[in-house]
Amino acid sequence: MERVRFCKHCRHLLKEGFLYCPYCGQEWKDDSTMEEIVDKGFEPLEHREINSTLNTLEQLSNKLDIIDSELELFLSHSV
């Protein structure tokens, strides 16, 4: 049975016996675990999701500031 291997540099699938990645030319070294490779592959997605969530929170905070200002204005005129 052929082992599944991935290039650490570009994350393409490598066939057993390849000493260099045919996609990026990096030398293949058998020192990574599958977990490390998978975790590294998800890092960009995690960063994108974190940035998206932070942007959403900032937008909500800005909207709350506007609502707070409008409420203060409303309450000051109704007294």
Does residue 78 carry a pLDDT above 80? no
pTM above 0.75, yes or no: no
Tens-digit pLDDT profile for residues 13-65:
888 788 888 999 988 776 666 677 677 778 888 899 999 999 999 999 999 99
The confidence score (pLDDT) of residue 49 equals 93
CB atoms within 10 A of CB 53: 10
Contacts with 9 (C-beta within 8 Å, 6 or more apart), sequence order: 21, 24, 26
Q: Is 10 in contact with 21 (CB distance < 8 Å)?
A: yes
Tokens of 57: 């929170």
Local confidence band at 67 (pLDDT 50, 70, 90 cut-offs): very high
Q: What pLDDT sits at residue 32?
A: 63
Q: What pLDDT is attached to residue 71?
A: 95
